[in-house]
Amino acid sequence: MDPSDPTSASPPQVHRAFELLPFQPALWLPGPHLQTVGGKFLRPPPTLPLTRERIATPDGDFLDLDRTPSPSGNAPLVLILHGLEGSTGRGYVRLAMEKLHSRGIQAVGMNFRSCSGEPNRRPRFYHSGETGDVAVVVEHLRRSFPDRPLGALGFSLGGNVLLKYLGELGDQSLRLIQAAVAVSVPFDLVAGTQAIETGAMGRVYSYYFLRSLRRKTDAKAHLLEELVDLDAVRRARTLREYDEVATAPLHGFPGARRYYEVSSSARFLDRIRTPTLLLQAADDPFLPAGSLPEASVRANPFLRPGFTPAGGHVGFVAGPGPWDPRFWAESEAARYLAQLLGGS
C-alpha cells in the first residue's frame, strides 16, 4: 500500500502479518484488580529526559507536549495520549517512551488540558470524546516534521480519543497517522461507567479519579461558577454524577448519557483506515467483557485485535516476580509501531 494514498483499500502486509508475542500474566498478580494496581505501582522509574513545548490552541488556550530525545535525525515520531487524570509523567507513558526510544522512535507525549501541572486558561477541560486538541497537535507535528513517519499510541481514555479521531478522519487518517496502537480502551462509555461503579474496587477507582477531578474544578472555580453547579460537583460520588454536572455542561452535552453515547469509540471502528493494533484484556474492570466490540474489530482489516483473557486495565504485568516485572503492552506496542513506521 502506498502511504501517500489515503484511499488505499487494504492495510499493508506488515500489519496483516504482525504476530503478537503471547502474554503470560504474572502468577503473583492474579486477577484483574491486582494486575491493574500492580501495573500502576511496579512500572520502573523513567531514565529519558523530556523537553517541553507549549503550543497554542485556536480558542486561546494551550497544550503542553513533552518530547524524548530523537534517536536519529529522521527517526519516526509517535504521539502518546494518556488516560483519565493522567499526564506524560505516568509510569505507562514513560515506559512506552523508553520502549519506543529503544526501537529508534522519538515519542511526543500530549498532556490533555489541565493535566500538565498548570491549569488551562479556558472554562473547560478535556473528555473521552475530545478530538479537536489531538487534531491541533497532529497538524503541528506534521508541519514541524513533514518528512518523518508519524504514529500514535493511546492508553485508556487516550485510546478512546485516538480511535474516535481516526474514525472521524476515515479515509484521510492515513495521510496524517501511519500506524496506531490503543491499549485498554473503554469502547462503550455507558457500559464502562457502569462497570467502574460496581463493587468495592469500583468505588476505590471512582474515588481516585474524582478526588483529582474535583481538585481541578475547585482550582478553576472563578472560571466555572457561572457554567456549572459547583456544589453539585463537590457532592458527586461517582464518575457518572461528575460527568452529569461538570463534563456535560462544560462541553456542550445535554447530559452524561448523551456524552457517553456520542463519545464511545466503538461507534467509529468501522471507519478507521490507519493500521491499528488493539491491546485489550477481557477481564478489564473498566469495561464489561460483553461490551468488547470483537465483531466490529474483526470486520475491519485495518484493526489488529490483541485481545487477552487477562491483564486488567493498563496492567499486562508478566515476569517471575515483583523483583523483575515485565510489561507486555508497552513492549508489543513499540514492536508493532517500529515495524509499521520503520524503526529498529
**Residues 6+ positions from 25 with CB-CB distance below 8 Å:** 35, 310, 311, 316, 317, 318
Burial class of residue 277 in the structure, from the number of CB atoms within 10 Å of its CB (0-12 exposed, 13-18 middle, 19+ buried): buried
Known catalytic membership, residue 156: yes
Cell numbers of 197, please? Answer: 461503579
Question: Which residue out of 173, 283, 313, 331 is catalytically annotated?
Answer: 313
* C-alpha distances out from residue 222 to 2, 63, 121, 216, 227, Å: 51, 21, 11, 12, 10
Max Cα separation, the chain?
55
Known catalytic membership, residue 2: no
Known catalytic membership, residue 10: no
Contact, 281 vs 288, CB < 8 A? no
Looking up cell 476505590, which residue turns up?
204
- CA gap 71, 147 in Å, rounded: 16
For 11, list phi and psi in degrees, rounded to 5. -75, 165
- CA gap 43, 41 in Å, rounded: 6
Cell numbers of 310, please? Answer: 487477562
Distance of CA 83 to the CA centre of its chain: 5
For 312, list phi and psi in degrees, rounded to 5. 70, -155
SS (H, E, C) 49-107: CCEEEEEECCCCCEEEEEECCCCCCCCCEEEEECCCCCCCCCHHHHHHHHHHHHCCCEE
For 188, list phi and psi in degrees, rounded to 5. -115, 105
Question: Which residue out of 133, 283, 284, 331 is catalytically annotated?
Answer: 284
Q: What does DSSP say about strands 150-155 and 179-183: parallel, antiparallel, or unpaired?
A: parallel
Question: Which residue out of 114, 116, 128, 156 is catalytically annotated?
Answer: 156
Active site residues: 156, 284, 313
